[in-house]
């Protein structure tokens, strides 16, 4: 008997129950709705903390290069971006171990622990002595902390999405899960705004000297709030059902990696989110550095670059829930297809606007691309979570998405910096966006529509 046999997740009533139910059943439905909202808030806050770290690293990469690597020269910027990539190389190890534990012992406690590790590692970056003080020890410490962050993040994304998805009603699953994505973009927006305020009030000299550390140290209270909320939640009803039925996978990794059906789904989990790399890491994380270093500081100071990025972050945070609602109505595939086609169509002309160096045109270019990308950002993780049964969801989803992030995401800033330098073309990010949009489009053809369907159990 599956979870969907035991409970009608749309209404909270046992299947086959009378349409007319009493006050007690209404109270149960109300309680279920409150629990779902709490789970959604917990997932969104966890996403905020995780992506706040990735966001501020990308936003403050110039200051990191000066302090940790010893200068802002091209070589040091390159090495700092290697530090960004390192965390992604660690993600598969985190995804394997955390996925195994999440499918064996449950989601709740593991996700709370991961949040502590992510926030602690982020705060520790703000405490690294400068290169002038400890020399090569500074970049070594940075790499070690980025490895810890990557390990933790490798288990966070799929775990948080699975956690909320296993609580959400079938008819509104994408909408409820979309707030995890919104949390990640609000984290970037908060990081951009906070960094902009620091730069404006303290000045570039103070940022270079000491104030760059402040955004990293802020991870401590943020992580505590997220940990407190997650610890107060119960385990997901789908995983509880597995425990009750004694059908928890004895070795979820082996089950995921030896089943042809799961292996095909993992392969799709690698290629379907291809657009996520340029869409997320280039358009939002790398964009401030791109505007300042590739287009010239005389056109974009870091403050102006952060302002451009903030406009696009507002646009996508507003659009994601709307796209998720649309997906719950018309399906995952149509929204994903529309977003990929839109990104392929607008990337080149919008990057042409961005590379003019004009502030207003750059704002238009980034906002249009953010709106085009919002359908993918809103839907892709729901589609990935719905591919797998509860027994291996955490493991299989984590492995596939972590590999995808390495290929299409973590290497993006480093690769773009190198290609722009070697080719002399500032339009390289546009071509990367078009190419990955086409990869996503091809992958959608192999995707099974899962709108409104109960999550599989085993």
Are 369 and 312 contacting, i.e. CB atoms less than 8 angstroms apart?
Answer: yes
Are 218 and 61 contacting, i.e. CB atoms less than 8 angstroms apart?
Answer: no
Residue appearing with tokens 């140290």: 217
Measured CA to CA, the distance from residue 48 to residue 55 in angstroms comes to 10
Structure confidence at residue 323 (pLDDT): 98
Structure confidence at residue 296 (pLDDT): 60
Residue ranges, the chain, pLDDT below 70? 1-32, 58, 294-299, 410-414, 458
Structure confidence at residue 411 (pLDDT): 66
Structure confidence at residue 376 (pLDDT): 97
Query: In angstroms, how far is CA 278 from the centroid of its own chain?
Result: 13
Measured CA to CA, the distance from residue 362 to residue 186 in angstroms comes to 20
The terminus-to-terminus CA distance of the chain in angstroms comes to 10
Condensed to tens digits (0 to 9), the pLDDT of residues 255-298 reads: 999 999 999 999 999 999 999 877 877 788 778 777 877 666 55
Structure confidence at residue 79 (pLDDT): 80
Are 6 and 14 contacting, i.e. CB atoms less than 8 angstroms apart?
Answer: yes
Structure confidence at residue 298 (pLDDT): 57
Condensed to tens digits (0 to 9), the pLDDT of residues 405-444 reads: 888 876 666 677 777 778 877 888 888 899 999 999 999 9
Mean pLDDT of the chain: 84
Structure confidence at residue 413 (pLDDT): 66
Taking phi over 0 as left and psi of -120 to 50 as alpha, with beta for the rest, 16 belongs to left
């Amino acid at each position: 008997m599956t979870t969907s046999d035991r409970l009608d997740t749309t209404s909270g009533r046992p299947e086959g129950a009378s349409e007319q139910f009493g006050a007690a059943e209404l109270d149960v439905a109300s309680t279920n709705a409150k629990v779902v909202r709490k789970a959604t808030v917990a997932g969104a806050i966890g996403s905020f903390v995780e992506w706040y770290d990735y966001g501020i690293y990308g936003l403050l990469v110039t200051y990191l290069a000066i302090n940790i690597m010893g200068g802002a020269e091209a070589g040091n910027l390159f090495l700092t971006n290697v530090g960004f990539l390192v965390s992604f190389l660690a993600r598969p190890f985190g995804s394997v171990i955390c996925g195994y534990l999440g499918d064996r012992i449950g989601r709740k406690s593991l996700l709370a622990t991961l949040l502590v590790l992510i926030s602690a590692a982020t705060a520790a970056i703000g405490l690294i002595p400068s290169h002038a003080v400890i020399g090569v020890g500074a970049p070594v410490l940075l790499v070690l902390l980025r490895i810890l962050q990557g390990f933790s993040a490798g288990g966070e994304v799929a775990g948080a999405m699975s956690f909320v998805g296993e609580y959400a009603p079938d008819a509104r699953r994408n909408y409820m899960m979309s707030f995890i994505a919104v949390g990640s973009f609000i984290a970037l927006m908060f990081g951009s705004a906070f960094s902009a305020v620091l730069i404006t009030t303290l000045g570039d000299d103070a940022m270079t000297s000491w104030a760059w550390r402040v955004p990293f140290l802020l991870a401590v209270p943020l992580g505590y709030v997220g940990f407190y909320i997650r610890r107060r939640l119960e385990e997901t009803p789908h995983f509880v059902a597995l425990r009750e039925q004694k059908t928890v996978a004895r070795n979820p990794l082996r089950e995921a990696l030896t089943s042809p059906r799961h292996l095909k789904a993992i392969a799709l989990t690698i290629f379907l989110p291809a657009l996520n790399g340029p869409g997320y890491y280039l358009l939002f994380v790398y964009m401030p550095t791109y505007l300042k270093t590739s287009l010239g500081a005389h056109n974009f100071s870091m403050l102006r670059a952060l302002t451009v990025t903030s406009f696009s972050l507002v646009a996508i945070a507003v659009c994601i829930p709307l796209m998720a609602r649309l997906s719950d109505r018309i399906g995952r595939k149509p929204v994903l297809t529309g977003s990929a086609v839109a990104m392929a169509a607008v990337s080149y002309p919008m990057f042409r606007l961005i590379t003019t160096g004009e502030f207003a045109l750059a704002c238009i270019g980034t906002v249009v691309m953010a709106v085009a990308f919002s359908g993918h950002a809103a839907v892709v993780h729901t589609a990935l979570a719905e591919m797998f049964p509860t027994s291996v969801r955490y493991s299989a989803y984590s492995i596939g998405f972590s590999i995808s992030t390495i290929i299409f995401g973590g290497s993006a800033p480093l690769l773009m910096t190198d290609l722009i330098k070697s080719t002399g073309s500032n339009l390289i990010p546009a071509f990367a966006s078009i190419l990955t949009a086409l990869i996503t489009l091809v992958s959608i053809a192999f995707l099974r529509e899962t709108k409104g369907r109960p999550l599989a159990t085993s």
